[in-house]
Amino acid sequence: MSKPINKIVILGTGNVASHLARAFKDAGLTIAQVYGRNTKNAREIAEEIFCDYTIDVNEIIPDADLYILAITESAVEELIGQIPGNDKLIVHTAGSIPMDILKDYSMNYGVFYPLQTFSKNDSMDYSDIPFCIEANSLKNLEILSELAEALSGDVRLISSEERKLIHLAAVFTCNFSNLLYTIADDILSAEGVEFDILLPLIKKTTDKIKTSRPKDVQTGPAKRKDMETISKHLTLLENNTRYKEIYKLLSQAIIDSNS
Amino acid sequence: MSKPINKIVILGTGNVASHLARAFKDAGLTIAQVYGRNTKNAREIAEEIFCDYTIDVNEIIPDADLYILAITESAVEELIGQIPGNDKLIVHTAGSIPMDILKDYSMNYGVFYPLQTFSKNDSMDYSDIPFCIEANSLKNLEILSELAEALSGDVRLISSEERKLIHLAAVFTCNFSNLLYTIADDILSAEGVEFDILLPLIKKTTDKIKTSRPKDVQTGPAKRKDMETISKHLTLLENNTRYKEIYKLLSQAIIDSNS
């Protein structure tokens, strides 16, 4: 059993930061301080989880056991130099940033990456979120592993190399799928059809891939090489160049993967 | 209460045909005959639901109450001329074909379109599948409505104009999303990461749109205009022109819809 983590500082006040703060609180862990550049956001989180907050980098607690950088990827490099102490455990929560970006700033560092899509006021069950952890030493890995296990039943040791591909795959499955839902919503709105008519279909589509490889359960006009239907659909999209381009590109990808 | 439908003929032996046959049987309705060009497939369905089958168009029962054309869209026109009688109720099950395609072949016609993705041996709960029905008369609409209500709790009166947009929207949400899952699976395979790590993320993504418009819950690098991450992702996709093109096009669509 490693030394318990008693003092945690969360740096950031965005969606990941607020959700992590809430998850720690729900797990009975104490956050000592939240740092953010925006007073309102920092105070909001601090009030919810009963901790201190600061918007002044110079006031970040110097003797915390763990500093969690839960900020946008582009801001990580900017902020890490300002964290006090160089032997404290520092982790970031970003999908696409290698762990080693932290190596010049502390002797103890790692990654604590929850693979989930966070919207600010969304309620969330943290117990099945995969936590991808990585650390510069076995000891730190043990600390992060225990911490992640306090939040979730799915903790995985993931290298920086793997993590960046996971993040990329997540963009395709989550962000891009949501764009497709937006396009569908847009198409239906034109005739006043409610989006909810698609929900059973969406559920079935995602149920199938729990037990089958996605490529083995592909359906639709492109899969059947039904050029007549594809051509009808392209005509329907005549007035939206962007949607038409997306339809053509994705259909072609399905057709080609099928031959 | 309209005249009960006692004799149903299903024309087709594909995924929609076999699932409809099973749904009717589960609902306690009798299928009189299945017609298909392929003996093996026709026999398979007939044996499962205890009905007759034929592969000879001339042997299609002439006095059925309802003929259901559950065949690929391009085959509908070819087959309808061969259905006996011109006063029997004939329906097709296709998303993108207008109802009126049937008007020269019978005085009674309509559409019976289950909005779902069917894989052959997939078990299926029919009770929440939206059935989109349309008919050439109020009487026929009543018949189809009763029939659909025997299978599902979600029966909707949908015009041909609406239905073709629903079908198009379904291609985006179901078929194209599945392609994105395939791409993600492919990306993860390169590092030996299991696809199941993405399942909680996929579940959350689809949960969100049950209560929010998809455009209101968009997340990800493109939504944040995080060009650094986007550029990293494009580098990762350097060796796959198709995936890179898809990533660029979908990211650009999110960026533009956001401004």
Rounded distance between C-alpha atoms, residue B114 and residue B126, angstroms: 9
Rounded distance between C-alpha atoms, residue A151 and residue A155, angstroms: 9
Whether residue A211 has pLDDT greater than 50:
yes
Tell me which amino acid residue B87 is. D
Rounded distance between C-alpha atoms, residue A124 and residue A107, angstroms: 33
φ, ψ of residue B9 in degrees (nearest 5): -115, 130
ipTM reported for the complex, 2 dp: 0.92
At B133, which helix (H) or strand (E)? strand B131-135
**How much of chain B, in percent, has pLDDT values that exceed 90?**
80
**One-character DSSP codes across B134-169:** EESSHHHHHHHHHHHHHH-S-EEE--HHHHHHHHHH
| Residue B69 CB burial class (10 angstroms; 0-12, 13-18, ≥19) | buried
Which residues of B, range 188-247, sit inside 8 Å of A by Cβ?
A: 188, 190-191, 193, 195, 197-206, 208-210, 213-215, 217-224, 226, 228-229, 232-233, 236-237, 242, 245-247
**A160 contacts A184 by C-beta, under 8 angstroms:** no
| A118 with B219: Cβ contact below 8 A | yes
Tell me which amino acid residue B153 is. G
Task: Summarize the confidence of residues B58-82 as an average pLDDT.
Answer: 88
Torsion of CA A175, A179, A181, A185, to 10 degrees: 150
Listed in sequence order, the residues at least 6 apart from B133 whose beta carbon sits closer than 8 Å to its beta carbon are B110, B111, B112, B113, B141, B144, B145, B148, B155, B156, B157, B158
User: Smallest Cβ distance to B193: which of A15, A166, A182?
Assistant: A166
At B6, which helix (H) or strand (E)? none
How far B220 CA sits from the closest chain A CA (Å)? 6
- pLDDT for A97 equals 92
- pLDDT for A1 equals 45
Taking the CA atoms of B204, B206, B212 and B217 in sequence, report the sign of the dihedral they define: positive
Mean of all residue pLDDT scores within chain B:
93
**A91 contacts A73 by C-beta, under 8 angstroms:** no
Count of C-beta atoms within a 10 Å radius of residue B56? 8
**A218 contacts A212 by C-beta, under 8 angstroms:** no
Task: Summarize the confidence of residues B2-31 as an average pLDDT.
Answer: 89
Q: Which residue of A has its CA nearest to B198?
A: A170
- Lowest-confidence range among A220-229, B11-20, B116-125, B174-183? B116-125
Find residue B90's DSSP bridge partners.
Answer: B67, B109
User: Smallest Cβ distance to A197: which of B115, B179, B215?
Assistant: B115
DSSP code of A175?
Answer: I
- pLDDT for A78 equals 83
